[in-house]
Amino acid sequence: MVDVRAANPDGSRVRDRRVLGGTKLQARAWGVERERELIEGRGKPVRTASVTFHKFLAEWWPTYKAKGYRPSAIRFVEKYLRVHLVPHFGDVPLDKIDRQALDKFVATLFAKPGRWSSQAEPTNLSSTSVQHAMDVLHTVLVAAEDWKLLDKLPKFPTVKRDARGLSLDFYDVSETERLLVGARDEHDRLLLLFALHTGARAGEQIAVTWPDIDLHAKRVDLRRSRVEGVTHESTKNRKGRSVPLSDPLVKALKAARHRRGPLVFCVADGSPLTPTHLRRALGHAARAAGLRLLRWHDLRHSFASNLTKAGTPLKQVQDWLGHSTITMTMRYAHLAPHGGREHLAGLTSATTNNSQTR
């Protein structure tokens, strides 16, 4: 009987045990060759114990963080690993995470209490949060497959989006006007007006400098972003963009010129604002105007929604928002006037249209 054991570079163990005919010398020679095959990865190694999800994370997570992702992206992945994935899959071997395990995991996630579960009407985890958890799990398992610790990636189930993941709230044009009137001062009013009329993300707005603004051409170049105290020389999708400035915004920017430093939006000593400054400005204005309180990011949705309602082509809205693909911008498509019926005239001839008109 020959019992061959070897260790893989990833730390897992392989073993091949069988009974052979012949002499001890022949059996020993076969064992030496078989050991060489297992170490070199030839033949069909038999894993005695698959690496667990938690053990793999201990090796993989430092390499993921070293790839240069933004701190916010790192924390996003870390949160879903800590809150959902490790508690569920921590001690599970990687090769046991199959389609059945994934289906059960999705069902478990949908049964979890959501963010607002402490309110009068408890809610479960939204489909968006479930999809985020599955996306992070997919990233981990793809890495495990690349590291040769997983023979085949399981087929992931489709997560059906619910209304919370599809609906967007925003201030319409009349509400934005009331919001601006409710601002505490001209500084807060400019903060709100800039967000409502450019669609800039919070980090992009905080990082805007006066050289980025061309008041003569009525244009702002959004080319960088400040996230959690760190200024990045790129936006979220790593692509800069130019957005035209409305006449009211040009007028407000001219009146707000200062010598406190290059930043357009800053505190008295010229240092950058924080997201807290933005939220406070929005909260005060919303309360003063008697409006429901939305998130700061919903001012970006307001920009896109009001443009779409006014008939602005979605492709143009996409460019101004800086979306990498039109798919994200399509969430505003239902707001287009007439639902796009004004374009159906191209389906019939001019003669037909004229006769119907008469």
CA 161 to each of CA 109, 133, 201, 221, 304: distance values in angstroms, whole numbers, following the listed order? 14, 14, 24, 34, 22
199 sits in the region (left: phi over 0; alpha: psi -120 to 50; else beta) called left
Which among 132, 241, 277, 300 is annotated as catalytic?
Answer: 300
Residue 323 is among the residues annotated as catalytic for this protein: yes
120 DSSP assignment: S
Phi/psi of residue 75, nearest 5 degrees: -65, -35
Residue 105 CA to residue 32 CA, distance in Å, equals 44
- The residue from 5, 96, 184, 297 that is catalytic is 297
Q: CB of 7 within 8 A of CB of 13?
A: yes
Q: Single out the catalytic residue among 178, 236, 279, 309.
A: 236
Q: What pLDDT does residue 152 have?
A: 87
pLDDT at 348: 66
**Rounded Cα distance, 122 and 115, in Å:** 9
Residue from 132, 201, 277, 301 carrying the catalytic annotation: 201
Answer yes or no: 88 catalytic.
no
Alpha carbons 15 and 113: distance in angstroms, whole number: 45
358 residues of the chain, pLDDT tens digit each: 788 887 776 667 777 777 666 678 878 888 888 888 777 765 554 444 578 999 999 999 999 988 878 787 898 999 999 999 999 999 999 989 999 999 999 999 998 886 544 444 556 788 889 999 999 999 999 999 988 888 889 999 998 876 554 568 899 999 999 999 999 999 999 999 999 999 999 999 999 999 999 999 999 999 988 887 778 777 776 778 999 999 999 999 999 998 899 999 999 899 999 999 999 999 999 999 999 999 999 999 999 999 999 999 999 999 999 998 898 898 888 888 876 665 566 676 654 555 454 4
Distance CA 53, CA 294 (A): 39
301 is catalytic: no
Is 236 a known active-site residue? yes
> What is residue 48's predicted lDDT score, i.e. its pLDDT?
44
Compute the chain's Rg from CA coordinates: 29
Q: Is the pTM of this model over 0.85?
A: no
